[in-house]
A and B are shown apart, each in its own frame.
Chain A
């Protein structure tokens, strides 16, 4: 039988003012099991608590109900009171008569009293079901985690570390220091920020108890007070901090420059950088954001951004080295590549893509111009010989990659000269033979043995010669026939045969009128060659329209300039002849129907539309196929007539024999063939080493996400100079290539999408060998007992305030930008200048509350520090240049620190700053000067101030992604993403989560002294925890009644903390079992449990239902 005592608190007039306490007392007396009722002025006071203890003893109470304030306020206090009288502290229930009743229902005494009676009745019903609980004692990991390396986090770390405990300080940026490091002077003492901050930073860096993890982020936290487990992601900084000496050579050679975040975009930094000279740790970081779009778009993965960055610096040889890391064909691809890279180039979204192909060609041209150095042969480190059949782009690319890995490689070529289609298929005016020969000789110089006039008919013979793997890259070398009458008449030529003969130098005689059938590059090449051979009238007959034409658009354009006509939507049905001589073709008009498998619209003949074209020759270029006759036997083919291979490994049906390029894909472009050769090289290397050929393929590349185009001024790309029309002869190249100046200018248009261009110049100069471009993010796990969150705030972006001219006029700057200009180590070397022209400003207008205290433009709250820093900046401006005059247009001028803060505002005024209370209407620009107009609230007059510089005092807001971190930590935050304190007055650095403490601007805007004080206070709480022997773990956890459990383990599925384990009983039954040290007491499993076998101690079904039934 429960003996319940009820204690009702007046809380002065806080409860008693709205609730008729005597009436409640009378009503409660009538409740069952209630044996004692009393009321108190202040139950939480000493006499109030003593009276509870006295009643417990005298009335032999075994349950206690207290009607008072919220249990979140005093539950712990009263549990202690009850325990003091020898009662289990969990036999107490609190009715929330203040926050949930009297305070929200003032002046409604009748209703509030009735509600209070209900709330107490509910608590009485519940407490009868309460049971004794005993907290478990658990140990403490005496190591703290501090998140955020601003001044608050630095202070916390130092205080905990100085007390002798280990600290892990995690900072997201490459250096600690936070915003304080950006400041020049600090208010109200005007002492130098760096001078007071950097010694603390250095101490952190050297402290034996502090493990500093910069450039790192928290990814996961589990556990509870005293026993947290954290996972920290160490972001790859591509520089080994244990080796980096901070010498800065990497930054010197880095070709990529971007706006410095530390200098608020006023200065520049490199992709390899240190945010500021006094950074801790004093180690460099490489800002690498994935693969640039050009590199992702390239089938062979050529790092275009890398060589373009180096071209922009005039490092042409080094640029070519970057290309040659991937493939050897700068000159070839620089001329004939279909350049998918340019299609995806981000610069194209601003104006036009970078002329990547032209730049690639430039590197090759430059090498030939200045004189090529013979490449040093690669050292043979591998035994296994590799045979490559075919010396087209696929075969040579494969040979190139393998020889660089140290394999002995032999290329077998059936033709008299190497190069495949590069030599025999592409006309000289597009790709001079000299260029092909030059690049092939480079491959030979590296050690590739090329045997010409060496057709391979029998694979066994090759294996017998000791080759361990074979790559077939014999191409698609025969022209497809059209299958129309008269196709075999002399005078009908096939494009490939025609091009081959021309390239071999065989004489081919043509009439004066030629028709070329087809729309691909072979057709265009054939037509243009015919023109060069003096044919007057050339017509291309293509069955689809211009939009579907697969040839390179610029080639089509040049061809038309040369006077070659195209007959679209027509196809020949017959070749007409007389006396075994071609006289013409009969064509039929076509119309386009639905798209086919290739996505192009399928043409269909139009009935009765036949027409005849008189020609002397017909060149057929309707496609190419694989010549099975030239290939060894026993290979498997697809139904398209190409070789059948594994799509990932390119291995054929014969072990050790691989194939790639056109022989597999059918006729394709050069870069796709190169990609095939490279893939085969990967497979062959893995095959020979005996490792899995499929693992990790296809490679998933991380494309850079967003590319900033801020401040990029549109500028057309440099066009390729071409040979004048009248001077185009057979062998003269039409495209002339960039000169050095044009190449540099074009390369400078590159947006450096991935930031680091992966050019690897830094590797060459780093004497400490600290650079590792292959570095990966790393997850570090650690056990900690307490956590301090000091993630700080950021200043609002001033460019979003267009109403004040922010982001519109360059002479409208943010207060942090002004601060950087004032700093002697800043982007202007301590000179305050107008960004537009570099002149010193005479009249400066400060606009306060930008984004603060104004729901229209930002947040409603006061950012607290702005009034003071504006006063500081006006004083400093005067010190920098006495002739400067500053205005502060304010909403209220606040000095929120008592003591000397108000004096500081007066000091600014005495220094000559004009304070005007008012509102800004507009900031406009006239004749190179700004004009600030608005209303003076004190005089009521309108004002119009001419200004050289306008400074926006932007407010503070929590750091980006702060809410993500708070969610990981399970700590509460408000609608503005500021952290919530456990109590806004009494527990300002604690959260509702035991063991997690907070400090600094992450909680609310604070100035430096407050941040330091809070950082220190948070450290105190950490130390208080660490000074305890052990802590008591919350006993309100779930427990399974195994007699009712059916072993369905649904509870295991729903538990967010993996607290449920399965257990096999002696009779073989499986039941759930809950690990109390992991369970956090949410009760999700209780609801999920179908047989009702789980009970959450402290919140059992009976307890909650008792409350429901009492209402």
Chain B
């Protein structure tokens, strides 16, 4: 798939589910767009909204935060904090002139390599269609 615009994507993946899910995509040799750069965090609840803003400030076109499915969090309730924090941040992004679609929060378990690859393909295409982001 050839994209007209190659977006820059940064992903914050929790160590226990989503990072392992991304590993699973690799082990299973599933292809997905190369645009993502993954940062490992212990829990999606470790992701500070300021990290996301920093990403956008540094020129990222999209940010993906991914953790364990609700109920499955390795730390019991970290992903619930994530869900609340980023629901708020997404609303706030519009005020900053950043389309809220550029921030995604997803749940990917350690066995869902396929799902991880699908999410990335979809997200990358969406970001490519949105095109380059105007400066903050």
One digit per residue, 1 when the CB lies within 8 angstroms of any chain A CB and 0 when it does not, for chain B 31-75 equals 110100111111101111101001100101000000000011111
Kindly identify which residue among A73, A114, A967, A1096 contacts B42, using a CB–CB cutoff of 8 Å: A1096
- Select from chain B the residue with minimum beta-carbon distance to A968: B76
Residues of B within 8 A of A1096 (CB): 42, 46
- On whether the beta carbons of A970 and B76 are closer than 8 Å, the reply is yes
- Select from chain B the residue with minimum beta-carbon distance to A1083: B46
- On whether the beta carbons of B54 and A1108 are closer than 8 Å, the reply is yes
Kindly identify which residue among B20, B55, B73, B117 contacts A1108, using a CB–CB cutoff of 8 Å: B55
Kindly identify which residue among B16, B30, B77, B78 contacts A104, using a CB–CB cutoff of 8 Å: B30
Counting CB contacts under 8 A, is A613 at the interface? no
**Whole-angstrom distance from the CB of B12 to the nearest CB of chain A?**
8
- On whether the beta carbons of A1056 and B51 are closer than 8 Å, the reply is no
Residues of A within 8 A of B19 (CB): 70, 72
**Whole-angstrom distance from the CB of B72 to the nearest CB of chain A?**
6
Counting CB contacts under 8 A, is A975 at the interface? yes
- On whether the beta carbons of B109 and A972 are closer than 8 Å, the reply is yes
- On whether the beta carbons of B32 and A104 are closer than 8 Å, the reply is yes
Residues of B within 8 A of A1054 (CB): 81
Residues of A within 8 A of B27 (CB): 99, 103
- On whether the beta carbons of B22 and A99 are closer than 8 Å, the reply is yes
**Whole-angstrom distance from the CB of B80 to the nearest CB of chain A?**
9
Q: How many A-B residue pairs have CB under 8 A?
A: 141
Q: Given the known inter-chain contacts A104-B31, A972-B111, A1082-B75, please indicate yes or no for A122 contacting B39, CB distance below 8 A.
A: yes
**Whole-angstrom distance from the CB of B14 to the nearest CB of chain A?**
9
Residues of B within 8 A of A1088 (CB): 81
**Whole-angstrom distance from the CB of A892 to the nearest CB of chain B?**
23
Q: Could you tell me the distance between the alpha carbons of A98 and B74 in the complex, rounded to whole angstroms?
A: 25
Counting CB contacts under 8 A, is B118 at the interface? no
B residues 106-136 with Cβ under 8 Å of A? 109-112, 117
Counting CB contacts under 8 A, is A691 at the interface? no
Residues of A within 8 A of B41 (CB): 1083, 1099, 1104
Q: Given the known inter-chain contacts A99-B27, A1104-B51, please indicate yes or no for A1111 contacting B10, CB distance below 8 A.
A: yes
- On whether the beta carbons of B48 and A1101 are closer than 8 Å, the reply is yes
Counting CB contacts under 8 A, is A992 at the interface? yes
Q: Could you tell me the distance between the alpha carbons of A992 and B72 in the complex, rounded to whole angstroms?
A: 13
- On whether the beta carbons of B71 and A99 are closer than 8 Å, the reply is no
- On whether the beta carbons of A115 and B34 are closer than 8 Å, the reply is yes
- On whether the beta carbons of B58 and A105 are closer than 8 Å, the reply is no
Residues of B within 8 A of A842 (CB): none
Kindly identify which residue among B25, B42, B51, B111 contacts A1081, using a CB–CB cutoff of 8 Å: B42
Q: Given the known inter-chain contacts A1086-B48, A1108-B55, A1111-B60, please indicate yes or no for A103 contacting B29, CB distance below 8 A.
A: yes
Residues of B within 8 A of A1107 (CB): 39
**Whole-angstrom distance from the CB of B89 to the nearest CB of chain A?**
11
Counting CB contacts under 8 A, is A111 at the interface? yes
Count the A residues whose beta carbon is within 8 Å of the partner chain — how many? 51
Counting CB contacts under 8 A, is B26 at the interface? yes
One digit per residue, 1 when the CB lies within 8 angstroms of any chain B CB and 0 when it does not, for chain A 1068-1111 equals 00000000000011111011100000001001010011011101
- On whether the beta carbons of A1087 and B10 are closer than 8 Å, the reply is no
Q: Could you tell me the distance between the alpha carbons of A485 and B54 in the complex, rounded to whole angstroms?
A: 89
Q: Given the known inter-chain contacts A974-B109, A1101-B48, A1108-B55, please indicate yes or no for A1082 contacting B78, CB distance below 8 A.
A: yes
Kindly identify which residue among B10, B22, B46, B111 contacts A975, using a CB–CB cutoff of 8 Å: B111
- Select from chain B the residue with minimum beta-carbon distance to A1109: B58
Counting CB contacts under 8 A, is B103 at the interface? no
**Whole-angstrom distance from the CB of A1098 to the nearest CB of chain B?**
8
Counting CB contacts under 8 A, is A119 at the interface? yes
Q: Could you tell me the distance between the alpha carbons of A818 and B29 in the complex, rounded to whole angstroms?
A: 43
Q: Could you tell me the distance between the alpha carbons of A263 and B29 in the complex, rounded to whole angstroms?
A: 46
- On whether the beta carbons of A104 and B26 are closer than 8 Å, the reply is yes
**Whole-angstrom distance from the CB of B93 to the nearest CB of chain A?**
17
Kindly identify which residue among A70, A106, A967, A1084 contacts B45, using a CB–CB cutoff of 8 Å: A1084
One digit per residue, 1 when the CB lies within 8 angstroms of any chain B CB and 0 when it does not, for chain A 333-362 equals 000000000000000000000000000000
- On whether the beta carbons of A103 and B20 are closer than 8 Å, the reply is no
- Select from chain B the residue with minimum beta-carbon distance to A107: B31
Q: Which of B31, B34, B81, B111 has the most CB of A within 10 A?
A: B34
Counting CB contacts under 8 A, is A118 at the interface? yes
Q: Could you tell me the distance between the alpha carbons of A973 and B109 in the complex, rounded to whole angstroms?
A: 8
- On whether the beta carbons of A100 and B29 are closer than 8 Å, the reply is no
- On whether the beta carbons of A99 and B78 are closer than 8 Å, the reply is no
Query: Which range contains the number of B residues in contact with the other chain?
Result: 35 or more
Residues of B within 8 A of A1111 (CB): 8, 10, 37, 55, 58, 60
Counting CB contacts under 8 A, is A381 at the interface? no
Residues of A within 8 A of B15 (CB): 72
- On whether the beta carbons of B43 and A105 are closer than 8 Å, the reply is no
- On whether the beta carbons of A104 and B25 are closer than 8 Å, the reply is yes
One digit per residue, 1 when the CB lies within 8 angstroms of any chain A CB and 0 when it does not, for chain B 71-95 equals 1111111100100010000000000
Counting CB contacts under 8 A, is A980 at the interface? yes
Q: Could you tell me the distance between the alpha carbons of A1054 and B77 in the complex, rounded to whole angstroms?
A: 9
A residues 1028-1043 with Cβ under 8 Å of B? 1036
Q: Could you tell me the distance between the alpha carbons of A106 and B32 in the complex, rounded to whole angstroms?
A: 10
Residues of B within 8 A of A993 (CB): 74
Q: Given the known inter-chain contacts A103-B29, A1083-B45, please indicate yes or no for A1108 contacting B38, CB distance below 8 A.
A: no
- Select from chain B the residue with minimum beta-carbon distance to A983: B27
Residues of B within 8 A of A1084 (CB): 43, 45-46, 75, 77-78, 81
- On whether the beta carbons of B46 and A967 are closer than 8 Å, the reply is no
**Whole-angstrom distance from the CB of A957 to the nearest CB of chain B?**
16
- On whether the beta carbons of A108 and B48 are closer than 8 Å, the reply is no
Counting CB contacts under 8 A, is A644 at the interface? no
Q: Given the known inter-chain contacts A104-B26, A104-B30, please indicate yes or no for A1087 contacting B85, CB distance below 8 A.
A: yes
Counting CB contacts under 8 A, is A96 at the interface? yes
Counting CB contacts under 8 A, is A71 at the interface? yes
- Select from chain A the residue with minimum beta-carbon distance to B47: A1087
Counting CB contacts under 8 A, is A112 at the interface? yes
Q: Could you tell me the distance between the alpha carbons of A119 and B26 in the complex, rounded to whole angstroms?
A: 15
Q: Could you tell me the distance between the alpha carbons of A1108 and B58 in the complex, rounded to whole angstroms?
A: 8
Residues of B within 8 A of A111 (CB): 34
Residues of A within 8 A of B74 (CB): 970, 992-993, 1082
- On whether the beta carbons of A967 and B72 are closer than 8 Å, the reply is yes
Residues of A within 8 A of B16 (CB): 972, 992
Counting CB contacts under 8 A, is B17 at the interface? yes
Residues of B within 8 A of A119 (CB): 37
**Whole-angstrom distance from the CB of B31 to the nearest CB of chain A?**
6
A residues 65-108 with Cβ under 8 Å of B? 70-73, 96, 98-101, 103-106, 108
Q: Could you tell me the distance between the alpha carbons of A1082 and B26 in the complex, rounded to whole angstroms?
A: 25
Residues of A within 8 A of B32 (CB): 104
Q: Given the known inter-chain contacts A970-B76, A1108-B54, please indicate yes or no for A1087 contacting B26, CB distance below 8 A.
A: no
**Whole-angstrom distance from the CB of B27 to the nearest CB of chain A?**
6
Q: Could you tell me the distance between the alpha carbons of A52 and B72 in the complex, rounded to whole angstroms?
A: 38
Kindly identify which residue among B10, B38, B111 contacts A100, using a CB–CB cutoff of 8 Å: B38
Residues of B within 8 A of A122 (CB): 37, 39
Residues of B within 8 A of A1083 (CB): 41-43, 45-46
Residues of A within 8 A of B48 (CB): 1086-1087, 1101, 1104
- On whether the beta carbons of A1036 and B76 are closer than 8 Å, the reply is no
Residues of B within 8 A of A980 (CB): 110-111
Residues of B within 8 A of A71 (CB): 40
Residues of A within 8 A of B75 (CB): 970, 1056-1057, 1080, 1082, 1084
Can you list 7 A-B contacts (CB < 8 A)? Answer: A104-B26, A975-B109, A1036-B42, A1083-B45, A1084-B78, A1086-B46, A1087-B49
Interface residues of A (CB under 8 A from B): 70-73, 96, 98-101, 103-106, 108, 111-112, 114-115, 118-119, 122, 967, 970, 972-975, 980, 992-993, 1036, 1054, 1056-1057, 1080-1084, 1086-1088, 1096, 1099, 1101, 1104-1105, 1107-1109, 1111
Given contacts A992-B110, A1082-B74, A1109-B58, 10 further A-B contacts (CB under 8 A): A72-B15, A101-B34, A111-B34, A972-B110, A973-B111, A1056-B75, A1056-B77, A1083-B42, A1084-B75, A1109-B54
The 4 A-B pairs of least Cβ separation, nearest first, read A99-B26, A1083-B46, A1082-B75, A974-B111
